[in-house]
Structures are given as C-alpha cells and as structure tokens.
Structure 1
C-alpha cells in the first residue's frame, strides 16, 4: 500500500513549455501561477519544512512584471514567469541566506550569485528559499537552526540532501523550477528520494560565486518534476562569468541547438551496478534491473563496467570533502562553534589532520581517476546506475538504521565519484517500491555532454517510471 502524502503533486508531465504557451495565448497568467505556488509552499511547510523563506511580495511583483512582458509579446526567455525556488546556500539580493546555520548573520545580501542573477534576468519568479543542512555538508536535510526537512512520500523519512527542500518543493508543486547544489550527490540524492528529476551539470557549465569551500567537487544545477523542464532552466543558468575563476577560459558547447532527438537507437550503455562503498538495497537493485530490461527492449546494448579506482575513490573524496569542511569552519567564530552540527565538526577536525602533501596526493589521484572516467565514457553513449544505493530512511538520521555505516557518503557511492570526475549526471524516477517509496535511475555522460544526458533523461523518464519491478 502506498504511503504517498496528499502533498505530492499529480504528475502532469513537462510543465515549462505548456505554461509559456498558456502565457503567450493568455490562457494562464504568471500572477495566477505564482499565487498557486505560494499557496502550496505555505500549505506544505508546517509538515515538511521545505522552505526557510517564502517571499509573497517579491514573487507577485516579479509575476506582474512577467505578465506585462507576455502581454506585450516580449518575454525575456522560455522560463519568464515560471515559479522558481532557490537553495539556502546561494546569494540572493535582498534575501537573508543562512547556509542552514545559526552562525550565519541574518542580513540581506547586496547581490545575486551569478546563477541566481541569470535566472532573474531570464524572468524567473522567485517564490522562496529552500532548506539545506548546515553548510550543505551532508546528503540529508536537517539542522539545529531550522529543523528537519521531511519526505513528502512519508514524513517519517528523510528528503535526502543537501538540496532536500528543493526536492520536496518540486515533488509537491511548490514551484516548477528549483536551484540545487551538488558536492557529493546533493541534487541527485534528494531528487531520487523524492521522486523527481535533477541534473548535476558538467563542472563549470553553471558559474558559481563565491567559490565553495568544498572546491571543485561542488556544482550548481536544476531540479524539477520532469527532466524536460531541466533543459530551459539549465540554459538560463549557464555561461561564462568572470567571477568564477574555476570555470577556466574555455567555453562549453551551448545547449541551444545541441539536443539530440531523444534516446539514441542502439545506444551503447555501460552498466555500473556496484558502488565503491556501502551496499545496494535489494529493492533498489530490483528497480534498476527492471529499468535495464526496458532499455534492452528499446534496443540498447548493455555492457557491465567496474568503476575505475574503486578501491581508492572513497579515500580520495574524503580528503577533498573533509579538508573543505575544515576550511569552511574557519569562517565560523570560535565562540559559536559549539552550536555547529556535531557531524560537521567531526569531519572538519579530521580534515585538519591531513597534511598539505596528503591533499595534493589526493588531488593527483583525482586527476588520474578523472582521466580514467573520461576514457571509459568515450567507449559508451552513457553510463547508468541506480540513482542512489538506498531507499529513503528515517528523518533526522545520517545513515540507514542497521547499515553499520558511520558517514553519509558511504551510502552515496553512486554519487560522489561523479563529483570527482565532474561529469554531467541526471537522475529520473523509476517505478516505486511495493510500499510506494521512490527509486531512481542515474544517467552519466562524458564531460560537456549535458545536452545528450538531458535528452536521454527526458525521453526515458515516462518509459522507465512505468516499468514495473
């Protein structure tokens, strides 16, 4: 029997193109749509805690401006007027962004982060700020300052994280487009746990400022109920920004005009079924096997693969992640550190024990791993895996009960390696478990192949979600 909460929105398929057509014809209004999204945000928040801030006045003012543009035939972009949420980890002009922490001053920012500015310039209507764990450090969403974000399919369970509030908002229809960040699975884990789509783009496609303390494992990307809607959002967020030195001087191929017609016939697929750490839940494995059978029916050629550096990649990630936590903690006054998440303090302390040589050695190993992933990806159209190795577990817990694991990344073994390799990776929903819990499918492409990954995700979402276990 399904445990789906009434808060979960009915799946109506891709929304952006239909809504902008309705705006163009006058059948629907950006103001009306903003009002619906704001009302839903208010309705779900007492139970699910998806929003830190809901901005009624700002959203309605932006929606009225969008409506005027549509009436004049001068929309700014394909997402003009679309209700959008932002994560409590990116700067937003005139909003108080807290990074999930009481240690961050509750003061409005004077400017937008580059991705936020690009969305604003495209006419997106910002309805609110979604929840994050403290400093986005873990793949579940809870914090001492702002509480526990719960799963709309069962509020006793976690939403995943760290973009948990964004995933819940998407699943419940509190907005159409949602900005997330992903340093080790933080878009893909909550998207998987909440039954929506999300993309971690190729590193550098979406500009970031200020730079993350976690360095070049951290990405910014789009989340939505359907993969098709990720495409216009990613296009709006992407591009070169001189504030982001880590993007490099090169330009990734634009998405516009680069999208292939869907899932390619005879596609060669590398099947990654064993994570480098942790175990795969049997129900996750069953859903993944059903999806693979469906791909074979569609004509895909499947070949099992083993993750390069499988015996080293967890250690490589830990050295990057823990030293990043140590760097982030430097920004917290010592007098306030007693209130910081104990798990974050633990990994930050471990990060301080690594030497400079330890970190540089890990960076060199990361380079070798990334090269191996580039070479492996060149042999296939895509690599696929489960979206995450486990099912949603108890809200407020860091790891599934009885797993024997001590840290979140040890159950996210299908996720964090792709942050190290900086490849694009999308997750889409699969058929739910017999109890009605979401499962998910991950599609990984070569660096720069975001368009192909998104096209495949959009083409496969309905097909795979309907394939029974």
Structure 2
C-alpha cells in the first residue's frame, strides 16, 4: 500500500483510544494549536502502560505522578506560547542503562546497589529534561545490555507487542516494546552491537544507531567505543526529532562530537531521486529466512520506484564476528571484574566474560586492527554509494527467554545478528525501519546504513521509504493483562 506521510500542520487527531500512537511530531503540532494537550498525551501513554505492561514487561519503573505533574507544567508553557524546546510535553521513556537523576539505574542486574547515589543524568537524559519532555519511567534491558534479547534474573523477560510469547529482541527491548504499544512516543536506547536496531526489527518500530559521538555518553560503557545511544520511535520523522533533542556536545564524554548546526528534520523529505543505493541481500555470508529476504528485496524496489539508482552489490568484507566477540566479551569480563559474581548473574554473561578474561592484549589489538580495516573498507565503499541497504536481522522474533532460536548452531547472540554489529565496529549510522510482516504476523526490518556523519541522509532515505508505505502505521492488537 502507498501512502503519503501526513504533514504535521494538517493533522486531525484520532479518538483517545488511538492517541498513544500519534507520532511525537504531530503531538507537538497539536500542543501548539491546542488540539491536544501534554496532559492528555501523557494520560494516554500511562493508560497504555497500565493496560499492556503486564503482558509484555517493558518497564522496570513508572512514575505516573511525576509524569502527570511534568505534563501539567508543559501544558501551561504551551498555553503561554513558551515551550522549553522542541520536545516539550512528549511522553518519553529511558532504557535502564542510562543514568537518571533521582532514579536508580540497575541495568537489569542484581549486582548494583539500588541505594545509589543517583545524582546525575546521562547527557541525553539531561537534554530531554531541558526540552521539557515528560519522562514516564525506565525500560527493561538484559543484564548490562550484553545480548540481543531482553531478559534478566532481576526483572524477567520482555515480550513482543505482536506476540508476547516471542522475544522483543534486545538489548533495548523494553524501549522497542514500549513505543510499539503506544507507551510513550519516544524512547531512548543504547546500541553496542545492534541493541536498538534488533528490537526495532522484531517489534515493527524505528530505531537509529547514529554516528558514534553524536549522542554523548556518560558514564562511558564498559564495552568502549562500540556503544552508542539512539532514538527509538514509531516513525523516522520522530527519530529525527528526538535526535535533534539529544545530540549536543557534553564535556563528560571525551569523544563527543560538536553540537550539530542543522536540524535532522531539515531536508528529511528530500526523497531519494538520484541517490546511489547499494543493496546487499546477505553481505556475502548470511543466510536469511526466505520471507525476510523477500520483504527486504520488495522494500528496495520501493526505493527504486521512488527514483533511487539501486545496485545489488556486497561491500566485500568477511564476517567480522570474531573480532567483535573479542572486543565485546572483553567488555563483559571488565563488567564482572568489579563484582562478586553469584548464580543470579546471567549464565550467558558469565560464560562470555570467562572467555573475555582469557584474551591477551595482542588479541585485543588484533581485533582493533581488523575493526580499523573494516572502517577503511566501508569509507571507500561509500565513495561509490550513498547508503547500503540490508535486512536488519535475518530472522524474525523467536520464543521469549532464549538467547538464540530453537535448534540454533551457536549459543552466541552474535550468531544471528550478522547485519548489525559490523556497523558498531565502523561507527556508521544505521537505521532500522519496518518493511512488512511474515505469514505468521511477525515484523521484518530494513536496515539503511550511511557513511560516518551521514545521519541526515540515512534518515532521509528511511523517510522516503515510509512516505511510500504504511508498515509503520500498523499497530498490534494485544489482549490486556
């Protein structure tokens, strides 16, 4: 189905039962015109949490009283025509891996002392507060965000909006499920090997891993410069709007980029006519589920019909999983080295941390050298094309509470995420957008990878696809529990 993306200026708001699914950009237009209020939007999000979270377990903390108080303050500011910023009043959640002043950040772990002190916001959280966003609470993550699904002994497993018996993906699974079910228009996640894009693909939502350093991080991740923060939303336009809010230099992050001088919404509707798009169905080494491959290929056809020059070509690199695992498992070892580890700690995390502790400095440097070579290869590749398109994940969501699908050949989550972690190694922007559903009703994601610093162009391609399709407007039907 083809559909134009509605202009925020011409929005007509839907009944209250559908209000949780109104995109943030349209909510803001409604706040400005008075067609809807931040209090109404916040109540709708809180009602969705009350209705659905028992079935999916997306939140570890909800502050309904604080959210409604913040929404009332935002309503007054909009009535005066004095919003704090472009996100004033938008219902938002935060992955429980990012510091939040006054709330514990437990990272899905039993090892962290809940007493704190919790007296500082992560940079992106601080930017959200400065713009007046209504922070609803914190979302689930596996222990220390170490894997591609979301479950922990601390909080349990997070289900998929389209089928709660299936995983949401991870590690930002709580955030993906929350936006997928209208439990807030925006969520802020983190991505060290696919952690916003994997759950976006599994839940039929949108997520961007931006160029490294564009969203500052503090405290730094134990997984080093693989880790990014990223917006998680229902539309590409909303992802751009949230990116506008949470980017900006912060001195606490030594690798933070300068504050962008242009909005990521500027030019987002520029289309793809004349752009050179490289399409790789398998990167030369991946086996896809047939329906995944079929849907992604059809999505590429949509972009070709919109005027893009599409060439089917592989970038030309071998699977860098061994190098990634050396870096990631070493980070896991560093995480656990600070604690007394007991049986409550995720057994998979304990296993890979033990592997990580066996690596030498030479192993780490060899992996880093491979990472640098991959970055060079992709830099040259993007001199010939504007973006690369792949599936986000080669499979669809599998049963909840498992690190890998039934009968899988490997216990490692990286064995089924070959399209995501390469671009953490290279630090490129990578966007996942929904591109259809399989015959059993599960979402499939399309990944759009841009050159480093080409975040705006990456979003523009995603917006062009969403302007021509309606997958992002589909909402799950879930029984309340």
- Shared fold (TM-score, shorter chain, > 0.5): yes
Q: 2:353 is matched with which residue? A: 348
Equivalent position SS for 2:468 = helix
Q: How big is the shift at 1:277?
A: 5.8
Equivalent position SS for 2:141 = coil
Are residues 1:118 and 2:127 paired? yes
Correspondences of 1:32-431 after superposition (within 5 Å): 32-108=40-116, 109-247=118-256, 254-256=262-264, 258-275=266-283, 279-311=287-319, 313-332=320-339, 334=340, 336-431=341-436
Question: What whole-Å deviation, never above 9, does each CA across 1:123-163 have from its counterpart, x for those lacking one?
Answer: 11000100000000001000011001001111110000000
Q: 2:33 is matched with which residue? A: 25
Equivalent position SS for 2:287 = coil
Counterpart Cα distance in 1 of 2:63 and 2:254? 32
Q: How big is the shift at 1:258?
A: 4.7
Counterpart Cα distance in 2 of 1:117 and 1:347? 33
Counterpart Cα distance in 2 of 1:145 and 1:257? 38
Counterpart Cα distance in 1 of 2:191 and 2:265? 26
Counterpart Cα distance in 2 of 1:160 and 1:73? 40
Aligned partners of 2:272 and 2:303 also within 8 Å: no
Counterpart Cα distance in 1 of 2:34 and 2:256? 40
Matched residues, number = 455
Q: 1:449 is matched with which residue? A: 454
Of 341-350 and 356-365, the range deviating more from structure 2: 356-365
Structure 2 gap ranges (5+): 1-16, 473-481
Equivalent position SS for 1:337 = coil
Aligned partners of 1:381 and 1:445 also within 8 Å: yes
| Distance verdict in 2 for CA 1:184–1:360, change over 3 Å | same
Moved >6 Å (runs of 4+): 9-14
Equivalent position SS for 1:247 = coil
TM-score (norm 2): 0.91
| Distance verdict in 2 for CA 1:12–1:228, change over 3 Å | farther
Q: 1:436 is matched with which residue? A: 441
Superposed CA RMSD: 1.9
Counterpart Cα distance in 1 of 2:19 and 2:376? 39
Equivalent position SS for 1:439 = strand
Aligned partners of 1:171 and 1:225 also within 8 Å: yes
| Distance verdict in 2 for CA 1:59–1:21, change over 3 Å | same
Q: How big is the shift at 1:365?
A: 1.6
Of 270-279 and 125-134, the range deviating more from structure 2: 270-279
| Distance verdict in 2 for CA 1:366–1:253, change over 3 Å | farther
Q: 2:8 is matched with which residue? A: none
TM-score (norm 1): 0.93
Of 323-332 and 139-148, the range deviating more from structure 2: 323-332
Q: How big is the shift at 1:402?
A: 2.4
Structure 1 gap ranges (5+): 1-8
Counterpart Cα distance in 1 of 2:439 and 2:173? 23
Counterpart Cα distance in 1 of 2:47 and 2:399? 28
Q: 1:4 is matched with which residue? A: none
